[in-house]
Structure 1
Amino acid sequence: MRAPALYSAAGTLLLTTLTAAPAGSAPGVPGVAELRGTAVAAARAGARGIDFGACPATEDLPGTVRCGTVSVPLDYARPDGRQIELTVSRVPATHKDPNNSKRRVPGQGSLVFNPGGPGGSGMYFPLIGALPEWKRLAAAYDLVGYAPRGVGRSAHLSCEDPKTFLKAPTQAPTHPSEAYKKERIAQAKAYARGCAQRAGDDLRHYTSLNNARDLDVLRAALGESRLTFVGASYGTYLGALYATLFPSHVRRMVFDAAVNPHPDQVWYRSNLAQSAAFEGRWQDFREWAARHDDVYSLGDTAGEVLRSYEKAAARLAAKPAGGTVGPGQLQEAFLSVGYYDDYWPHRAQALSAYLKGDPEPLVEQAGPHPETAAEAENAHAVYTAVECNDAPWPTDWQVWDRDNTRLARVAPFETWDNVWTNLSCAYWPAPRQRPLDVRTGPGEVPATLILAAERDAAAPYEGALELRRRLSGAVLVTERDAGTHGIAGGPNPCVNGYLDAYLLEGRLPVRRAACAPHPEPEPRQASPATKSATDLRRPV
């Protein structure tokens, strides 16, 4: 993930050589034992299938969704050893043409979805078939979601007590003091220890490579000889690993909001590039709010909107709103505007109301929700374990401090928050892998579809370009001048036309294509009452 303009403004961003990976984990050479173990597990799963029935109450899914489980090895080098259960959800194809009620649509098998993260659950994905943008796909495909290993009831991973996970209020200094840095270093070390203590030796098995192997076992359990898959965000990296490991098992694959799969980017440099890109998207939001100063009174320039935000942060540092919303909660809430522009009106309204003396909208949007603490802690634990296990990270704090101090001079909004999110990887107790060299040659896999918004901050556009270079026959469709993180089945009919043509008919543009941006959100005061397609696909 890279934002060239910001890096250029900062000068050359010097990155110290990362710590060496363990011997025997050369890039591009997945373990032979693990590949054999995957074949054994897939054959076993194919024979057993999945017994779909009523979903457990803990999944909070309607009766139209059916649930089941599939067994996968904890360690693919020992396929007959300990097994873990992955939860799976499905809504069968409707076979009803939404444009012609008399026409029966032939089925095309299962469409499997991963929402990203890592740490996101796709269990809610089958509900998306009820939305207009997805009805044609829901007519032809069984919509299948699942919780990857570690997520939810799928070999649940936890690194700390959920009751202490959502700490509030917190600070969010864009230029932290040395004392604050030492405090966060201590927290990162403690979190890494907690992961090791709670998970034990199992911790090393939460990796992207194992997630890709799990996906192949799921494919077999669904009775599919070849996989049809949509991955969003981190799910694109998972899909790219799958295509590299199991090219003959690919039917159709959509990579939505592609992250950069280059081994040198996974994952430390990806987070630097992401932090740089968020500054541009933060600017987009502030310019939008300034154009609607008559509604929000936050200032009629992006600079004035920034000063309004900083004024609110200073007030919250002195007196947290509702006793729980400090600068840290404010920053986290406004980070979402970098992901999805459908948040723009609601965050602007909350900030405006707070500055005018009404803290309630801000408390509602930014305050911690204890009822979601366990789910949030679990998602963060899986995210941390997978990213820390996947690749080498700098183990010297001075590297992190130097790189991010330089970057924060031109991209202060997200840089240090991103450091604190990932810093446990510097002190990680489990062995590190070297990332697989994602690559497919001509004719190895069918043509695949990459979707990318040009100003996506969470998955900067360079990632889509790199993925297209690495997957032979991949075609890129770009939403120009837009930044929503994940555009498949969203508000842009041009993008959806390419998505439907590919998944329903296997048709792709000859080389690459572009769509005009979807309209910017209209200023409004009320929060949306219903979920959008983006909400149901939203990664962690």
Structure 2
Amino acid sequence: MRRTIVLVSTGALIAGVVAAAPAATAGSAHHGRQSAVTVPESAGVAIAAANARRTGISWADCPAGWGLATPVQCGWVTVPVDYRKPFGATIKLAVDRAVATGTKAEHQGSLIYNPGGPGGSGLRFPVRLATGAALWTKTAKAYDFVGFDPRGVGHSAPISCEDPADYAQAPKADPVPDTDADKQAQRKLAAEYAAGCLERTGAAMLSQMTTPNTARDLDVIRAALREDKLNYLGVSYGTYLGSVYATLFPTHVRRMIIDSVVNPSRDQIWYRNNLDQDIAFEGRWNDWETWVAKYDSVYHLGSTVAQVESKWEALRAAAKAHPIGGVVGPNELLGFFQNAPYYDSTWATVAGVWSAYEGGDTQAMLDAAAPDPSDTAGNTSGENGNAVYTAVECTDAQWPTSWHKWDRDNTALNAQYPFLTWSNAWMNLPCATWPVKQQTPVDVRGHRGLPGVLIVQSTRDAATPYTGALETHRRLTGSRLVTEQGAGSHGVTNLVNPCINSRVDDYLLHGTLDPQDVVCGPHATPVP
């Protein structure tokens, strides 16, 4: 799962915008008795898919403001807001593609991508093909690369939970509470945020912001592409979306790769998954501190993990007392520094900014950690990404409503795993007072007709701990697990590791899976 810190952080996801209730129904209401017809969701998705196959996608150059130059093309797919009412209100989903580079004989259809979130946009994926990214040249000969903004995200009827200008304000409160009053203030913010989701998005749309509905949307996109089977690559939250799709539509899957895997057990979605993140983030944070200490001659931040951690605590305390540049406090620092536990490709960048700051370069820290003052409106607003994250996770599953439970669980975790625990709690606390009905998660299973799924996971992943891959592998019969031992970057398939890259190519090009699970060594560790 890709994270942004709602209520107390600058965030990291991008997408967009303001009041979405009109967008959810614009140009799409069907009047009369037909719009009121209610059917099972399985029938609703079949109706929507048949309509999408008949209509297809009218591909054209992407709108100028989207930053997607030719040869990437854009289009729209219409889906119901509520699959129980397939003739009722609809929304349009933004999709894009880059056409395969190979011959007609080499072509194997479309490869659809989801990068995670919930709240992440997949529209940048076709750029990998368009720019000739080295890792994907073989796959690009066989597949059109297709991305999309999921429902509520970016250009796809974007939802909102607060004024984007308020979201961009900084510094926000320190996520680590000093007193019970600090906790009560965060509880108030969380309840206000949940109420804002209902007010700005509307119950009709908010109640339908679920992973199963996004999986149904994915099947309609497949039909709009006029393909009988889905080829899919999902990363982070995209693995849960893929697992739910595989459960609901097992016979519609052709090839599926899930990379950095969410634990799909019903008792994990989503409260316990977030608690498990806190533990895993601490471990990966320690990995980065060990690396920084190893290169003390470069960064001068301490020659032991204890020294580096002490300097981090001193930085947080100083920024709490006097926010850097008036805008970077502990919350904004965390928004930047959490890049290191996510991706080791950022290790040198984060350490370099910190080192420069300690050497007197305040601007380096402001450039890296301060919120973007222009990120206040439009389809690039980080506020939208946070809104979708909250809406999907809160609506997908039942969350504890007892503040005593939240306080007890997070206080205990914070004692041992302080890096992310309280910020994670505040980000998810709107789910405790969620204003629309919370659903029961899909029981993820590999039903008859599902082909072999390729699962890829590093053992020290912070955002989606390794146990998620093991549990998904157990549930999806016939799947194969490729483990990157000793590594911890979130998202493995886009890294250079021949042991993994060759298996991704073999699976996508030939449908080949190893006869048994595979353990690969780690990709190269960064060097300053």
TM-score scaled by length of structure 1? 0.88
- Native 8 Å contact 2:175 2:426 kept in 1: no
- Native 8 Å contact 1:312 1:351 kept in 2: no
- The answer for the alignment partner of 2:239 in structure 1 is 236
Equivalent runs, 1:121-520 vs 2, <5 Å: 121-129=121-129, 130-201=132-203, 202-374=205-377, 375-441=381-447, 443-520=448-525
- Native 8 Å contact 1:260 1:463 kept in 2: yes
Q: Which string of whole-angstrom CA distances, capped at 9 and with x for unpartnered residues, describes residues 155-203 of structure 1? A: 1101111011023113435454211111111110111111111112221
Q: CA RMSD in A?
A: 1.4
- Cα deviation for residue 372 of structure 1 reads 3.1
- Cα deviation for residue 489 of structure 1 reads 2.6
Aligned residues: 486
State the identity as a percent: 50
Most deviating of 355-364 and 136-145? 355-364
Are 2:112 and 1:112 aligned?
yes
Q: Which string of whole-angstrom CA distances, capped at 9 and with x for unpartnered residues, describes residues 248-267 of structure 1? A: 10001000101000000000
Structure 2: state its 5+ residue gaps: 2-37
Are 2:60 and 1:57 aligned?
no
- Native 8 Å contact 1:91 1:127 kept in 2: yes
> 1:385, 1:269 → 2: CA distance?
17
Specify the SS of the correspondent of 2:451: coil
Specify the SS of the correspondent of 1:263: coil
- Native 8 Å contact 1:234 1:258 kept in 2: yes
> 2:430, 2:222 → 1: CA distance?
33
- Cα deviation for residue 321 of structure 1 reads 1.6
- Native 8 Å contact 1:74 1:205 kept in 2: yes
Q: Which string of whole-angstrom CA distances, capped at 9 and with x for unpartnered residues, describes residues 480-532 of structure 1? A: 10001010131212111111010011001112001110111111xxxxxxxxx
- Native 8 Å contact 2:168 2:375 kept in 1: no
Equivalent runs, 1:60-75 vs 2, <5 Å: 60-75=67-82
- The answer for the alignment partner of 1:84 in structure 2 is 91
Q: Which string of whole-angstrom CA distances, capped at 9 and with x for unpartnered residues, describes residues 3-37 of structure 1? A: xxxxxxxxxxxxxxxxxxxxxxxxxxxx9710000
Q: Which string of whole-angstrom CA distances, capped at 9 and with x for unpartnered residues, describes residues 371-417 of structure 1? A: 33442000000110000000000111111000000011110000001
Residue type of the alignment partner of 2:41: E
> 2:231, 2:308 → 1: CA distance?
44
Runs (4 or more) in structure 1 with deviation over 3 Å come to 173-176
- Native 8 Å contact 1:172 1:331 kept in 2: no
- Cα deviation for residue 326 of structure 1 reads 1.0
Most deviating of 483-492 and 222-231? 483-492
Q: Which string of whole-angstrom CA distances, capped at 9 and with x for unpartnered residues, describes residues 26-63 of structure 1? A: xxxxx971000000000000011000001112311112
Specify the SS of the correspondent of 2:367: helix
> 1:176, 1:61 → 2: CA distance?
46
Specify the SS of the correspondent of 2:346: helix
> 2:408, 2:107 → 1: CA distance?
55
TM-score scaled by length of structure 2? 0.90
- Cα deviation for residue 105 of structure 1 reads 6.3
Structure 1: state its 5+ residue gaps: 2-30, 97-103, 524-540
